[in-house]
Structure formats: C-alpha cells, structure tokens
C-alpha cells in the first residue's frame, strides 16, 4: 500500500518512559470497530500535527480525533521496560521492533475501558503537539508489526472471559428454566393420556365425551413435554439474543397457554383416538398456533401497531387470567396426584384419598406464602427479591432429606407416586433392570419432538374444529409482550422500541412453529433474575442457549429425580397468583357488571373450555359496552341558557343589544343542550324523554324557550335509530312544546353529523304552513364564499333599502336550521330574537347583506362613505350623540379608499402594521401561519386596528376572499390624529379595546359554560 510518509513517532509512555510508534503511517489504515457485537473496518484519515513543542503528559491510551467526526480510538502499544530512562530513547528507536509495534483499535466501549466520552480542546492539542515533537526524527523503514490475534481471537477471548465472569447468573438462569420446564412440560398433555393406563383409572369412569383415558403412543410422555418446552425456549432465546434491544433477555415457552393445549388435545382425541395419528395432528396444531402467533406479532410490529393490545377490554383480559389461574391450580392437583380431577364427588374423594401427595404441595405453598408475608421491608416490599426461586430450588434437597430421615428409598417413593416415573421402567411395581444414566439419555427418543408430525395422517377435520381455540390462543398471547416489555424496560432502565420487540417475537414464534414447537415470549421474571444476577451481553445469552441445548438432551433424565411436590408447588403458586389477580385483586377495580363478566369468563374456561371462554368474553365486552353507554354516559353533557354565551356578532346597534339583554325576550329565551358520546338505540329514548321533560317544566311560563339549540359537537357517533329519533324530536318540539325555532349544530371539525343517515337534509325540511309568508333561511343564499360550510342565517338589509321582501323574510323566520358551530347558531338565534321585536334593527347590523335592492358596485363614493360611517357608528362603544356622529364622519373622511382583488394578500403575519381598515364590500379571511386557525371577516367590520394602536407587527395573514373595498386609515394620518385631534384618535383606540374585551369574554364564557373552546 501507499504510505504518506516514512517516519518513526515516539510517544510518551508511562512512568516517564516513552512508548514507540514504529514505521510509516499508511493513508488507509483499517480501524476495527466493535459495536453491539458487529465488527466492520473503516479507513482512517491522516493525522496532521502542528510543528510545535509541548511537555508530554500522556498515557498509553491515546484518544484520536478523526477529522470530520469525533470518535474514541485507542492506540495500544507495548511500552519498553520500566527500567529504561531518557538516555535510552535513542536506542529504543533502533530497537523498536523488540518492544512492539503500533496497534490501532477503535473501541466503542463503556467507561470500564478507561476511555472518556468527550475530550476538550486542550487534550487534543497536547496530542498533536506530541506528534509534532518527534515528527522530524527519522529511522529506517520498519512496517507495523502484524498482530492477527488482536481481531476476532481477542474478541473471542473477551467473550469467554465474560461468560466465566457471569457463570453464576448463567447457571442460575438455566436451573430456573429446567425447574419450570419440568412441571409445565409434564402438563402439556391431558393427565389421562399416559404411558401407564392403570394409573389413570380415575379417568375411566367418566361419562362425558371429553374424558381422556388412553395410552400415550410414545414412551416417556413427560420427557417429550419437557423437551417441547426447552425447544420453544431455545428458539426464542436464539432470536432474542440477536434481535432484541435488551442486553439480557431470557425467553421461555408461553406458560399460560397450557389450557389451550389441553383443548386442542381433546379435539384431536375425539377425532383420531390416542395413537400416533392423533399425536401428529396435535403437534401440527401446536406448530400452526405458533406460526399464527408469530405472524400476528410480526404484523403488529411491522405496521407500528404495538399498542393495539391495549385496546382489549381490561375486564375480559382479567377474566382470562383468572380462568387460566384456575386451570393451572387444577393441573397442579393432577400432576401431583397423577390423576384427573373434576369438581364432583368422585373428584373430591380422589383428592382426599391421595392427599398424602397433594398435602406436601399445600405445606410448601403455605410456607412460601408465610415467608413472603413476613420477609418485607418497612414499605411492604419484599426484602428478598429472589425468595421464590430459591425456595423452589430448595424443595428438592428438602424432599430427599426427608426421605433420608424417614429411611425411604427413592424407588419406594417413586412407587408411592412421590417421584415422576422412570422411562426406563414405565410399569410401576415391576422388576426393572438397572439402566445407566447414559442409556437413559440416549434411548432413541431424544429427537422425537422432530419426528412426530406426519402430514399423511393429519386429521384436517380436527384442524377445522380447532379454529376457535387457535384464534383464542392468538388473542390471549397478545397480552404478554405489551406487559413484559415495558415492565422489563423499567426494571432495566432501557428505552426499547415495542414494535422492534414485537417483530423479534414474531420471528421467534414462527421459527419455533415451523418445527412444530410451542409459543415463546421474553419472560419478565427470568430476565430480571438474569439481570440482577449480573448477566448480560451476547456471549452470556448464547451461553444460556448452549445450556438449554444441554438441558434438552439431559434434562428429562435429570427430571426423573425431581419430586412431584416440587412441580405441584410451582404450578399451584403460579395458578393461585393468576387466579387471585383475576378474581380477588380486581374486586374493587371494576364495576358490578364487569366483575360479573370476569367470573363468567373464569367459570366458562374451567367448565366448558377455551372456545366457550372466548365467546363469553366477547358477549361480556359487548354487553358491558351497551349497558355502560346507557347507564354511565349521559348523552346530555350540559343544559344552559344563552344569557352569558354571547356570540361573536359584536357590532350590533345599541337598540339590538337592549333586546338581547332583556330578561323576557332576550338571550335567556335561548335553551342550549350540549350532547356527547355515542347516541344510539340504547339511549336515544332517554335523551328524547329528558328533553321533553325539560320543555314541559317551562311550558306556559316566561322561561319557556323560544329557540332550542341542540349542539352535537361532542357527539362521536350516531346510529340510524338515533338519527330518526332526532328527526322526530324536531317535530315534537314545535307541535307539543311551542318551540318556535330549533337549531342543530354539527360541529365545525367535521362535515355534517357523525352518522350515515342524511340527518342534515331531514332536519332542514320545511314543514308546510297555512300562509305563504314563511321563508326558510336554508334557502337564503349564503353570505360566505365557501359553499362547503354552513353559513350564518342572518338576514340583513342595506341602509335605506325599501325591500319589503327582505322585511317579510326577516319577520317570518324559519323553524329549523343546521349550523356548523355553536357560535354560528348563537348569531342566528340572536338575529331571530331581534327580528321578533324590530326587524329593521338588522338593517343597521354590520353583517353580510343577503337581501339588498342596491348593488354595491353601483354606489357612489359619497354613498360608500355614508355606509362606512354607519358601520363605524355601530362599532364604536360610545353613546351616540350629534357631536360623536360628526367626529365619526370626520374620521371616515380622512380614510383612503382601496380595492383588492380576490385571493390578493392584504398583509402577511409579521409585517409592519401601517393601517386599519373598514371593510365596506366583500369578505376577507385572517389565518395564522402553520395552523388551520381562520377567521372570516364580513363587511361592516373594522380590522387591523390593534397593530395600528400599539405599533405591533401583524398577528395574522389577511387575504381577500372576494373582491373587496376598504376605507383605510394609514399610520401617518393616525399619528397625526393622536397629536392634533385626540377625539378622533380615541375612536380607533376605544374600538380596539372593545374588540379585545369581546374576544376575552367570548372565549372565557364559552370555556366556563361548555368546557370546550369556541
């Protein structure tokens, strides 16, 4: 390769002795990176140094700055003997190959390696100066000494050292895996399906079709089950080691799915009996269920739907937990007594007769519960986190100690049922020849797990009948990962991606299922034990995999020496915890109906099986939703009068405001009902009855509402029954309760009502009347240029207009109206109240002119200024006097007429405020940049006044929606008024204050009265 220069660099070493960097530095020296177990090479760049002296104070670990980015690099070299002094430096240069060569290794490691995360400028300068000090010293060309052992071999040695250091955690974790695999492995198959038919005689007398009493087709059913658990654990551990974001994940077979395996076994046995054909079909179903679970996990993670499991009804999941706990308790009894158990007289008698077996389990369980209750700290937390694992491990030596004290041999204990059967001697009480441990292991059945499935004999009828159980198994399996992952993330203080963990679980389950294996998950308790014991990292996790392989081969032969009471105690402890979590801990956390559903699911699972429990869960969820929607979510959120809920129509004449504030015919005669939630067939009747009751109480009184507003803004859904009910309610309010006008608000955040039924059209239908004078405001042309939105229904007449058609339209107001917002409905309702008293007051309102005989485009400038003066008279919050009218007219005379075309921007947000405008014709829209906030300003209003008064920049962008005409007061003229004519200047200042006061009052009242923003 090419070399930049051929130099010898002397770097200071430790203890005053300089280390040697020998040979030329190549342009592209590979740096070896190690991050997360992956290694890659990356070219380095030339290290440029400055030509200046420095007092060296470095160590053997030098931190390099890679130009373009900062990285932690470590230059490791062999230092010369400590006896060497400064006088030996020259000889060191010539004898450098004897002491070592430059070894570059780029590390991304923890603080334990002695490398800091960040370095200041001073340290980098010292490093560069050290290089520069010896840059001119030359020597013969010596290439770097190759050190192949510094790559993979070193990392392998480091990994081996980690394994040795963490061996206690690895051994403890593997022992726990075997301990749990034994009781659950022997429980995968129904207890009556056994190698010893005689021992299952308790099952032969059953009358039901689900009773199991047959010979297992392979020797060593328990050994097969243990290997099934260990194989699923191994597949999960391999995938989690490389795919999980955790440093110490421990996988295990999904224990809680044991009841589903029994349900599948019952279905298969009913179809095919007890032979190898049935076992082949059952293993196929095991593998199919794992693949299905894996696909669900993978799909959820791939589509970033990791939180979907949280949408399951909580009481349904709790009911499943309680049911599985009850099933595991029964399994503990069956595994301990080696007989089926049923909740009848025969089952109770059998339990009593064999209580010498199960009594030990009860004794151990009570002892553990007492220790757990006593050994707690001041806060009630366990003093010993690993009390339960240590206790379970101690059962085996305590049991054999008891046998030794009582003088009972292990063969006699096995004959009495205290130990699991020995596969080498399957018939109890028989004379069996002694078999070595080696022969017990290598008996030709180690790989039976992979030989069972035979597609030629699979019963597809049984597979079809198992569909419900498989779906239930998949649904229940979903709850474990969303629970285990966040819990372990908190315990290990690691931030992980739930979706990534779901994908990893998808791979692990699909891999297990392809070989006919069971489901697996990262287990919280095992992972915490491994972490707290000091375990972590890929080498340690791979060691657990290796230990699982060892247990897969030798574990069943070791399990022969495990007492049944150990397996029974572990099962009973887990079953009790799950059962209590389901039916006891939830007692105060759910209402009566939900708690009843929990018990329904628990009992259904135990009595009728998993499919029945799934159906019970669905029925419980639906019924709970329906009943709670009727009982607990009142469709009426709030009932109020519009006394304080003023609209945004602030520019009304003073006479009109007097009408609205009147106690007899003003805003107090507007009744507002805010609706919420789902309105459907279950609560529409109550909603209708409540509204009729409210109206009946005030009928024939001064408080009876003239206008009723039904606000659907907070309603999230309606069915067709509710929509038809609202349509009928409209007619009832008019016919039976003398409501003159009903207004329905859809909510501005959506288009129309939240239902498929055309409710807007149905509510706006004009009812036939006796005369021809009524006019439905829904037929009035819209004032707003946006045809997709409902408009204000205000009818307005130009100043001086003699249009009798307009007057008649105002007087004969409609009976029904649909608006998009509550503010729009209030404006419309206020217009109606004003029209009932004096319709001509609306002609002075600065609203859009829907009925007008005069074309704005034909107005002269004198007529325009007269109209602008009229608008400003309505806006100014001062008592109107002849002097004030002259002042307003003088103010308008100083304004300049301006025209803007449609879509033309008048100003942008942040621009300098240089004018205030009276909108004489057209419509403008104010928007906030980067948001969807918008405000429509109709003609007759003043806008832009705040920036002119307080000299602030524009707060919004204003765009002409149509062609507009404004009369503008520029800043220079206004400043002149401030100094020379304060009376006219105060007009703008008082108007700005009034606008601000109205906005604050409008927002605060709306929040206080309705608990939502306007």
Which of 17-21, 328-332, 365-369 shows the highest mean pLDDT?
365-369
Find the length of the chain. Answer: 1014
Question: In whole angstroms, what is the distance from residue 360 CA to residue 332 CA?
Answer: 12
Question: H/E/C letters for each residue in 103-136?
Answer: EEEEECCCHHHCCCCCCCHHHHHHHHHHHHHCCC
Average pLDDT, the chain: 75
178 vs 97: which has the higher pLDDT? 178
Q: What is the mean pLDDT of residues 791-812?
A: 39
Site of tokens 């076992």: 279
Query: Which carries the bigger pLDDT value, residue 22 or residue 724?
Result: 724
Which tokens go with 497? Answer: 């991606």
Q: How many other CB atoms sit within 10 Å of the CB of residue 838?
A: 14
- Whether pLDDT at 61 is above 90: no
Report the alpha-carbon angle 142-146-147, nearest 5: 145
d(C-alpha 970, C-alpha 975), whole Å = 9
Q: What gap in Å lies between CA 1014 and CA 1004, rounded to an integer?
A: 9
Query: What is the arrangement of strands in the sheet containing 905-907, beginning at the earlier edge strand?
Result: 905-907, 957-960, 923-927, 934-938
32: nearest Cα among 123, 116, 104, 117: 104
Distance CA 416, CA 429 (A): 10
**Three-class SS of residue 935?**
strand
82 — pLDDT class (breaks 50, 70, 90): very low
Asked if 872 and 913 count as a contact pair (C-beta separation under 8 A), the reply is no
Q: For residues 869 and 886, what is the distance between their CA atoms, to the nearest angstrom?
A: 10
**270 vs 482, which has greater pLDDT?**
270
Chain mean position to CA 763? 40
pLDDT in tens, 265-320: 999 999 999 999 999 999 999 999 999 999 999 999 999 887 665 666 778 878 87
Structure tokens at 940: 């007759």
> What is the tens place of the pLDDT at every residue in 555-609?
888 888 888 888 888 888 878 888 888 888 888 778 788 888 889 888 888 887 7
**516 Rama sector, left if φ>0, alpha if ψ -120 to 50, beta otherwise:** left
Write the pLDDT tens digit of every residue in 852-898. Answer: 444 556 788 888 898 888 888 887 877 778 888 899 999 999 999 99
User: Looking at residue 463, what is its pLDDT?
Assistant: 94
Measure CA of the first residue to CA of the last residue in the chain; give whole Å: 74
Q: pLDDT-based confidence at 101, cuts 50/70/90?
A: very low
- Contact in structure between 1002 and 645 (CB atoms under 8 Å): no
DSSP 809-859: HHHS--SEEEESSHHHHHHHHHHHHHHHH-GGGGGGSSS--SB-SS-GGG-
- pLDDT over 90 percentage in the chain: 22
Q: Give tens-digit pLDDT for 687-697.
A: 999 999 999 99
Alpha helices in 855-944, H assignment, sequence order: 861-875, 882-893
Q: Average the pLDDT over 905-933 and give the result.
A: 90
Q: Tell me which H or E stretch contains 526.
A: helix 524-532
Give yes or no for a contact between 746 and 819, defined as CB atoms under 8 angstroms apart. yes
pLDDT tens per residue, range 17-45: 434 444 444 434 443 433 334 444 444 43
pLDDT band at 936 (very low <50, low <70, confident <90, very high): confident
- Per-residue pLDDT band for 766 (boundaries 50, 70, 90) equals low
Count the neighbouring beta carbons within 10 Å of the beta carbon of residue 933: 10
What tokens were used for 855? 């074309």
DSSP 86: G
Could you identify the residue written with the tokens 């249009």? 803
Strands 193-194 and 214-215: what pairing? Answer: parallel
Q: Kindly state the average pLDDT of the residues 671-675.
A: 92
Element (H, E) at 772: none
Instruction: Check residue 18 and give its pLDDT.
Output: 39
How are beta strands 942-943 and 896-900 bridged, if at all? unpaired
Q: What is the pLDDT of residues 605-655, one digit of tens each?
A: 888 776 677 788 888 888 877 776 665 567 888 898 888 777 877 767 778
Query: Exposure pattern of 593-608 as b/e (b: 16+ CB <10 Å)?
Result: ebbbbbbbbbbbbbee
The lowest-confidence range among 424-433, 460-469, 782-791 is 782-791
Do β-strands 214-215 and 964-970 pair in parallel, antiparallel, or remain unpaired?
unpaired
Residue 55 has pLDDT above 50, yes or no: no
What band does 813 get if pLDDT is binned at 50, 70 and 90? low
DSSP label at 243?
H
pLDDT tens-digit profile of 430-441? 555 666 667 777
Q: Residue 610: its pLDDT value, please? A: 65
Query: If pLDDT is split at 50, 70 and 90, which confidence band does 908 have?
Result: very high
The C-alpha atoms of residue 357 and residue 1010 are separated, in whole angstroms, by 67
Q: Whole-structure pTM over 0.85, yes or no?
A: no
Which of 74-83, 415-424, 671-680, 725-734 comes out lowest in average pLDDT?
74-83
- Quick: pLDDT tens for 132-172: 554 444 333 333 444 444 567 877 888 888 888 888 888 87
The helix or strand, by DSSP H or E, that contains position 618, with its residue range, turns out to be helix 610-631
Q: What average pLDDT score do residues 912-931 get?
A: 90
Contact 645, 672 (CB under 8 A): yes
């Amino acid at each position: 390769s090419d070399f930049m220069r051929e130099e010898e660099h002397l770097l200071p070493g430790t203890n005053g002795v300089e280390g040697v960097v020998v040979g030329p530095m190549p342009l592209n020296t590979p740096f070896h990176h190690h991050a997360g177990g992956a290694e890659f090479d990356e070219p380095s760049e030339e290290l440029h140094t400055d030509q200046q002296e420095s007092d060296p104070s470095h160590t053997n670990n030098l931190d390099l700055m890679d130009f373009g980015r900062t990285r932690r690099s470590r230059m490791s070299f062999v230092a010369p003997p400590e006896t060497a002094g400064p006088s030996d430096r020259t000889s060191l240069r010539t004898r450098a190959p004897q002491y070592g060569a430059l070894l570059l290794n780029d590390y991304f490691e923890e603080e334990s390696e002695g490398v800091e995360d960040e370095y200041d400028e001073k340290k980098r300068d010292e490093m560069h100066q050290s290089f520069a000090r010896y840059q001119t010293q030359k020597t013969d060309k010596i290439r770097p000494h190759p050190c192949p052992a510094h790559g993979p071999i070193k990392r392998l040695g480091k990994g081996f050292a980690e394994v040795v250091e963490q061996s206690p955690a690895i051994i403890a974790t593997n022992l726990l895996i075997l301990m749990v695999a034994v009781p659950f492995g022997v429980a995968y198959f129904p207890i009556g399906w056994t190698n010893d038919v005689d021992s299952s005689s308790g099952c032969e007398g059953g009358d039901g079709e689900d009773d199991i009493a047959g010979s297992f087709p392979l020797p060593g059913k328990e050994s097969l089950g243990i290997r099934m658990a260990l194989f699923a654990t191994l597949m999960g551990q391999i995938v989690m080691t490389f795919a999980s974001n955790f440093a110490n994940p421990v996988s295990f077979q999904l224990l809680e799915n044991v009841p589903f395996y029994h349900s599948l076994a019952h279905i298969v046995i009913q179809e095919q009996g007890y032979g190898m054909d049935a076992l082949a079909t059952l293993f196929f179903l095991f593998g199919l269920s794992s693949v299905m679970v894996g696909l669900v996990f993978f799909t959820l993670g791939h589509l970033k739907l990791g939180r979907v499991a949280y949408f399951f009804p909580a009481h349904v999941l709790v009911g499943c937990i309680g049911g599985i706990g009850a099933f595991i308790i029964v399994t503990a009894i069956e595994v301990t007594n080696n007989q089926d158990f049923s909740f009848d007289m025969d089952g109770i008698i059998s339990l009593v007769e064999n209580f010498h077996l199960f009594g030990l389990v009860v004794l151990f369980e009570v002892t553990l519960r007492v220790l757990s209750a006593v050994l707690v700290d001041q806060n009630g937390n366990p003093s010993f986190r690993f009390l339960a694992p240590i206790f379970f491990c101690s059962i085996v030596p305590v049991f054999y100690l008891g046998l030794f004290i009582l003088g009972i041999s292990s063969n006699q204990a096995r004959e009495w049922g205290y130990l699991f059967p020995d596969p080498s001697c399957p018939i109890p009480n028989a004379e069996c020849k002694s078999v070595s441990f080696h022969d017990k292991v290598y008996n030709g059945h180690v790989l039976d797990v992979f030989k069972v499935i035979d597609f030629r004999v699979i019963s597809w009828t049984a597979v079809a009948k198992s569909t419900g159980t498989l779906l239930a198994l998949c649904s229940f399996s979903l709850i474990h990962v969303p629970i285990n992952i966040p819990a372990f993330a908190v315990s290990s203080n690691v931030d992980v991606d739930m979706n990534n963990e779901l994908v990893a679980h998808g791979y692990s389950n699909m891999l297990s299922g392809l070989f006919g294996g069971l489901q697996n998950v990262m287990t919280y308790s095992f992972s915490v034990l491994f972490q707290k014991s000091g375990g972590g990292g890929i080498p340690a996790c791979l060691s657990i995999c290796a230990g699982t392989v060892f247990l897969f081969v030798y574990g069943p032969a070791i399990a022969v020496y495990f007492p049944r009471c150990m397996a029974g105690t572990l099962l009973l402890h887990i079953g009790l915890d799950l059962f209590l979590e389901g039916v006891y801990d939830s007692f105060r956390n759910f209402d009566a109906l939900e708690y009843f559903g929990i018990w329904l699911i628990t009992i259904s699972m135990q009595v009728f099986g998993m499919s029945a429990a799934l159906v019970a869960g669905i029925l419980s969820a639906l019924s709970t939703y329906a009943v709670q929607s009727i009982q607990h979510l009142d469709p009426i959120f709030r009932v109020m009068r519009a006394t304080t809920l003023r609209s945004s129509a602030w520019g009304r004449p003073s006479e009109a405001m007097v009408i609205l504030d009147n106690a007899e015919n003003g805003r107090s005669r507007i009744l507002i009902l805010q609706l919420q939630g789902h309105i459907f067939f279950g609560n529409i009747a109550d909603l209708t009855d409540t509204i009729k009751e409210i109206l009946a109480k005030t009928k024939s009184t001064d408080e009876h509402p003239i206008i009723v507003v039904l606000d659907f803004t907070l309603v999230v859904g309606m069915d067709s029954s509710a929509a038809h009910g609202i349509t009928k309610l409209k007619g009832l309010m008019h016919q039976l309760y003398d409501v003159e006008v009903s207004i329905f608000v859809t909510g501005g955040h959506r288009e129309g009502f939240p239902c498929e039924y055309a409710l807007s059209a149905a509510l706006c239908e004009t009812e036939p009347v006796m005369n021809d004078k009524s006019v439905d405001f829904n037929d009035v042309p819209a004032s707003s240029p946006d045809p997709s939105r409902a408009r204000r229904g205000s009818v307005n007449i130009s100043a001086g207009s003699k249009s009798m058609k307009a007057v008649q339209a105002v007087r004969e107001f409609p009976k029904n109206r649909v608006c998009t917002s509550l503010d729009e409905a209030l404006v419309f309702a206020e217009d109606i109240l004003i029209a009932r008293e004096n319709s001509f007051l609306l002609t002075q309102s600065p609203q859009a002119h829907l009925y007008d005989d005069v074309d704005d485009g034909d107005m002269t400038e004198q007529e325009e200024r007269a109209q602008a003066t009229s608008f400003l008279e309505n806006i100014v919050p001062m008592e109107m006097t002849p002097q004030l009218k002259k002042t307003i007219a003088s103010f308008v005379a100083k304004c300049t007429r301006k025209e803007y075309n449609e879509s033309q921007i008048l100003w942008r947000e942040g621009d300098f405020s240089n004018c205030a405008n009276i909108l004489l014709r057209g419509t403008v829209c104010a928007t906030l940049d980067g948001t969807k906030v918008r405000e429509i300003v109709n003609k007759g209003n003043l806008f832009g006044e705040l920036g002119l008064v307080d000299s602030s920049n524009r707060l919004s962008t204003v765009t002409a929606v149509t062609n507009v005409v404004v009369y503008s007061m520029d800043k220079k003229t206004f400043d002149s008024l401030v100094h020379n004519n304060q009376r006219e200047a105060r007009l703008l200042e008082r108007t700005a204050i009034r606008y601000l006061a109205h906005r604050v009052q409008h927002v605060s009242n709306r929040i206080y009265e309705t608990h939502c923003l306007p």
